[in-house]
């Protein structure tokens, strides 16, 4: 196949798809580098914010002085601000309702998220809900299409979810553990401030989970039946760099340039660049979302269990891109190996990488007990219907086998 011209072994694809038409529109202004958080007030003002809802997680952003810096920057521009704090990982609908009420009470016209994906995703849901007379969950449940959203700005502290440059957000409805990912172009942030120095104090576990998550955002687009030599080539370059730099950070968490690469790669992984013209997959994310919704584990840690099991399963019926991944990303030397051996070695090396990051690839180990696979499959079916995935269409029976493989 044409995409594989640069590797040692060439093969014809079983199926020939065509490149899809696409729209790529990533209008976010990315302001990247040291001390850039000091520009927060000017950027909010540039995008018309006069009354801000400041959304953040918990103590670390306060203790580090970041929240004080951001508030000072808003004050310097004469911008009013009120606070929605204590956003937790796997953010839930209750905080969204709280935020919407604050926006109404204070006539907020701009949402500023200071944190990682959970904070940004909460900000997006509040931005949508504040411009809607009904229940914001209507959008996530697919019942309504939003017409408007408040503008959003981001000061990023965790490179992982890519939410700072994406139209996506993931919210969990506490009643019933419904964890739903929603894509809406209205919620692309106006600006995202990315200072790699702010990520240096992240615990190694959080750094690792972020790396797994951003890699998986590329996987969900890379594993596709659409021919895409250019997109595949730059996606592979980004994936290899994330892995190199991820290992660098295990040894030296203060390496500014490695932090910078990881931060920028996390944005490119999910702003759409790596998916242009391709039919995307997203099965791994959906299969994992049930795990983190039900057992409240970190999304990235869940993905480290699900992704290798998913790869092993899909390679049986559609090996081409898994084989290419093994050679071009995991650097398996194909000489003398069968297709199956190349794929097995690629998946083994990916698991080794996750282990090197300090993560487990076993669901049992992750949640500390035997997971209830019936419950996981039931939840997945409730949220997704009969099938998931674009690279291989998976039935709920297939997903059960993937959960079992991930045990």
CA distance 106 to 83: 11
- Pick between residue 99 and residue 153 the one whose CB is nearest to a copy of itself: 153
Whether the CB-CB separation of 274 and 222 falls below 8 Å is answered with: yes
Which among 359, 401, 349, 344 has a CA at the least distance from the CA of 376?
Answer: 401
Least distance in Å: CB of 177 to a copy of itself?
Answer: 37
CA distance 56 to 158: 12
Whether the CB-CB separation of 366 and 360 falls below 8 Å is answered with: yes
Token pair in block for residue 168: 């996506």
Whether the CB-CB separation of 1 and 227 falls below 8 Å is answered with: yes
Residues in 10-69 at the binding interface with a copy of itself, rule: CB under 8 A: 18-36
- Pick between residue 89 and residue 277 the one whose CB is nearest to a copy of itself: 277
- Pick between residue 9 and residue 233 the one whose CB is nearest to a copy of itself: 233
Which among 20, 376, 72 has a CA at the least distance from the CA of 226?
Answer: 20
- Tokens 């981001």 — which residue? 154
Whether the CB-CB separation of 37 and 70 falls below 8 Å is answered with: yes
Cβ neighbours of residue 321 closer than 8 Å, sequence gap 6 or more: 222, 223, 224, 225, 391
Grouping H, G, I as helix, E, B as strand and the rest as coil, residue 343 is helix
- Pick between residue 231 and residue 350 the one whose CB is nearest to a copy of itself: 231
CA distance 253 to 270: 23
Token pair in block for residue 277: 């013209």
Figure out which of the listed residues 2, 63, 143, 369 binds a copy of itself, where binding follows CB under 8 A: 2
- Pick between residue 227 and residue 253 the one whose CB is nearest to a copy of itself: 227
Q: What residue spans of 270-338 are helical by DSSP H?
A: 283-295, 299-317, 320-328
Whether the CB-CB separation of 284 and 220 falls below 8 Å is answered with: yes
- Pick between residue 28 and residue 118 the one whose CB is nearest to a copy of itself: 28
Residues in 223-252 at the binding interface with a copy of itself, rule: CB under 8 A: 227, 229-231, 233-234, 236-238, 240-241, 244-245
* Count of residues near a copy of itself by CB under 8 A: 45
Least distance in Å: CB of 244 to a copy of itself?
Answer: 6
- Pick between residue 172 and residue 271 the one whose CB is nearest to a copy of itself: 271
Least distance in Å: CB of 6 to a copy of itself?
Answer: 7
Q: What character string, x for contact with a copy of itself (CB under 8 A) and - otherwise, covers 90-129?
A: ----------------------------------------
CA distance 349 to 74: 47
CA distance 8 to 234: 18
Least distance in Å: CB of 41 to a copy of itself?
Answer: 16
Q: What character string, x for contact with a copy of itself (CB under 8 A) and - otherwise, covers 189-228?
A: --------------------------------------x-
Residues in 249-268 at the binding interface with a copy of itself, rule: CB under 8 A: 256-257, 260-261, 264-265, 268
Least distance in Å: CB of 277 to a copy of itself?
Answer: 7
CA distance 160 to 117: 7
Least distance in Å: CB of 43 to a copy of itself?
Answer: 10
- Pick between residue 62 and residue 241 the one whose CB is nearest to a copy of itself: 241
Residues in 273-302 at the binding interface with a copy of itself, rule: CB under 8 A: 273, 276-277
- Pick between residue 356 and residue 365 the one whose CB is nearest to a copy of itself: 356
Residues, the chain, total? 407
- Write out the residues near a copy of itself by the rule CB under 8 A: 2, 5-6, 18-36, 227, 229-231, 233-234, 236-238, 240-241, 244-245, 256-257, 260-261, 264-265, 268, 273, 276-277
């Amino acid at each position: 196949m044409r995409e594989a011209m640069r590797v040692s072994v060439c093969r014809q694809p079983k199926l020939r798809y065509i490149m899809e038409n696409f729209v790529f529109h990533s209008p976010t202004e990315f302001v990247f580098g040291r001390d850039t958080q000091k520009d927060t007030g000017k950027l909010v003002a540039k995008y018309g914010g006069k009354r801000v809802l400041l959304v953040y997680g918990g103590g670390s952003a306060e203790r580090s002085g970041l929240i004080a810096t951001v508030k000072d920057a808003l004050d310097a521009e004469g911008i009013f601000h009120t606070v929605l704090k204590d956003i937790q990982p796997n953010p839930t609908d209750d905080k969204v309702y709280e935020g919407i009420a604050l926006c109404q009470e204070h006539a907020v016209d701009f949402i500023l998220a200071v944190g990682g994906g959970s904070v940004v995703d909460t900000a997006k849901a509040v931005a949508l809900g504040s411009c809607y007379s009904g229940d914001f969950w209507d959008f996530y449940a697919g019942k309504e299409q939003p017409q408007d959203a408040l503008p959003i700005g981001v000061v990023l502290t965790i490179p992982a979810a890519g939410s700072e440059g994406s139209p996506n957000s993931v919210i969990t409805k506490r009643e019933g553990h419904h964890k739903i990912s929603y894509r809406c172009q209205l919620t692309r942030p106006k600006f995202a401030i990315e200072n790699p120095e702010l990520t240096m104090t992240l615990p190694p576990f959080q750094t690792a989970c972020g790396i797994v998550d951003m890699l998986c955002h590329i996987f969900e687009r890379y594993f596709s039946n659409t021919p895409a030599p250019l997109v595949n080539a730059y996606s592979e370059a980004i994936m290899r760099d994330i892995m190199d730099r991820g290992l660098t950070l295990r040894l030296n968490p203060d390496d500014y340039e490695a932090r910078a690469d990881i931060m920028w790669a996390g944005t490119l992984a999910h702003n759409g660049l790596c998916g242009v013209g391709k039919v995307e997959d997203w099965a791994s994310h959906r299969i994992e979302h049930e795990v983190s919704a039900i057992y409240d584990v970190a999304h990235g840690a869940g993905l480290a269990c699900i992704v290798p099991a998913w790869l092993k399963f899909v390679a049986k019926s559609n090996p081409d891109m898994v084989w290419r991944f093994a050679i071009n990303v995991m650097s398996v030397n194909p000489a003398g190996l069968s297709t199956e051996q190349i794929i097995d070695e690629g998946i083994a090396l990916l698991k080794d990488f996750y282990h090197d990051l300090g993560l487990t690839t076993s669901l049992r180990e992750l949640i500390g007990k035997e997971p209830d696979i019936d419950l996981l499959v039931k939840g997945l079916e409730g949220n997704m219907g009969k099938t998931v995935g674009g690279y291989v269409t998976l039935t709920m029976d297939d997903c059960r086998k993937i959960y079992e493989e991930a045990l």
